[in-house]
Amino acid sequence: MTRIAVVGGGRIGEALIAGLREAGTPGSDIVVIEAVQARADELAKKYSILPTTLDIGCEGADVIAIAVKPQDVPAVTERIGEAISDSVHESIVVSLAAGVSTESLENKLSAGSPVVRVMPNTAMLVGQGVSAVCKGRFARDEHVEQVKTLMESVGGVVVVTEAQMDAVTAVSGSGPAYFFLLTEAMIDAGVEQGLPRDVATTLATGTAHGAGAMLAAGGDGPGQLRYNVCSPGGTTAAAIRAFEAGGLRATVADAMEAAATKSHAISQASKDDDDDDIA
């Protein structure tokens, strides 16, 4: 049994809670600490969990998952540090925030506190997330294993180095949004071609689901799967040519570079804040 305190009940906090509940974690093992009372009450009702304060929620928690916006992480971590500093129970502080380094978290906690950084994605909501995990200076392998097991209950998990986290964020943290954007564009294009919107939505969404399932089946890779759709002289090859002419691959590379650069900039901002604290 792992007792989890989720600090921040926004989009990703809810996705984690929903995925854990769906995977069978009892509601009594999860508490949520959320700034907006109405939102805390909504989550409590929806997932049969307890909304509480940070001090009470951190007491006895095995995992304290920080799911607030990156700029709110330093203040929240400092308060968590105060709440657990005298506790005999060891809590693993887990950050789900983009761009916030384990070092900046450790700087706000008592010396030697185990910190694990996770980059999840919103597909946790349906138990199909994929997360990357890296450990801070004081986290031992058993802490990483515990967090890995927790995240495996809501999807796949890979262990990476912290230096890889900006790239991870660009691929899988932000990734669901790229597929949603493509799906939206396909629906709009289907409507332009004369389909009713509900029909275009059913077709594009079902296609995304089916293509995802084929990729996840782990047989042929994406290239071969695409070749299999491209009948010689056919419709798909004509569409792929238009995608390539429009610079799709370069656009994807530029978009992911922008995401990774932003993640790095967030890390630099949190480092600068730490330096200001020390000065």
Ligand X SMILES: O=C(O)[C@@H]1CCC=N1
Q: How far is the CB of 115 from ligand NDP (least distance, A)?
A: 15
Under the criterion CB under 6 A, does residue 104 sit at the interface with ligand NDP?
no
Under the criterion CB under 6 A, does residue 270 sit at the interface with ligand X?
no
- Dihedral, CA of residue 149, residue 110, residue 121 and residue 275, to nearest 10: -150
- Distance between CA atoms of residues 107 and 202, nearest Å: 49
Residues from 112 through 151 that contact ligand NDP (CB under 6 A): 119-122
Quick one: which segment of 62-70, 85-93, 154-162, 249-257 binds ligand NDP (CB under 6 A)? 62-70
Return the one option of ligand X, ligand NDP, none that residue 67 interacts with (CB less than 5 to 8 A, by type). ligand NDP
**Side chain identity at residue 255, one-letter code:** A
Under the criterion CB under 6 A, does residue 69 sit at the interface with ligand NDP?
yes
**Side chain identity at residue 181, one-letter code:** L
Quick one: which segment of 56-64, 85-93, 95-103, 151-159 binds ligand NDP (CB under 6 A)? 95-103
Euclidean distance between the first and the last CA atom of the chain, given in angstroms as a whole number: 42
Nearest to 72 by CA among 108, 38, 47, 103: 108
Quick one: which segment of 91-99, 149-157, 191-199, 271-279 binds ligand NDP (CB under 6 A)? 91-99
Quick one: which segment of 160-168, 169-177, 223-231, 235-243 binds ligand X (CB under 6 A)? 169-177
Under the criterion CB under 6 A, does residue 267 sit at the interface with ligand X?
no
Alpha helix segments (H runs only) across the chain: 11-22, 37-47, 54-58, 73-84, 102-106, 141-152, 165-168, 175-192, 197-217, 222-229, 235-245, 248-278
**From 11, 137, 140, 249, residue interacting with ligand NDP (rule: CB under 6 A):** 11
Given the structure tokens 């056919």, which residue do they identify? 234
**Could you tell me how many residues of this chain bind ligand NDP (CB under 6 A)?**
26
Nearest to 8 by CA among 45, 46, 48, 51: 51
Return the one option of ligand NDP, ligand X, none that residue 200 interacts with (CB less than 5 to 8 A, by type). none
- Distance between CA atoms of residues 63 and 146, nearest Å: 9
Residues from 203 through 222 that contact ligand NDP (CB under 6 A): none
Q: How far is the CB of 34 from ligand NDP (least distance, A)?
A: 5
Under the criterion CB under 6 A, does residue 95 sit at the interface with ligand X?
no
